[in-house]
Structure 1
Amino acid sequence: MIGPSTPPPTPTDLKRAVQTAMLDMAGVLEPVYDAADGMRRDLESRGWSPTMAEQCAGTWLAATLQMIGRGGT
């Protein structure tokens, strides 16, 4: 082999990496969740029923999260 080999990550290292990635993702997605909340409030202020406003905002949020999960395509 050429160069030093690195040991495989330990379960503790993997756990920390996953925890950090999840916290990073929560922070990145916060504006998306805020936009969905704002959309719901805006629709309700325009006279939409709370149920319909929640349905529309939820549908938009699910589609947006799916698009983000696919890399924006």
Structure 2
Amino acid sequence: MDDEPGFDELVAEQADALLRYGYVLTGNPHDAADLVQEALVRLRRLAEGETQGQPAQLRPDHDGTVAHQRLAAAQA
């Protein structure tokens, strides 16, 4: 993850807030940590273009946009 210092900085800066929110959602600190970790892994994979198994609306197109961006642009 050295190639994306911005992502690492985001995680370092927001880790406590993400864990607190995860706790609000799960009610358990261990489940909260698992939830945050899984969300960050998915975010990282999406940012790197790993889209196998991702829902169609999250898969980047050839130009890098995703379906919800295209839909918002079409409705504007």
Bigger CA radius of gyration: 1
Taking structure 2 as the reference length, the TM-score comes to 0.48
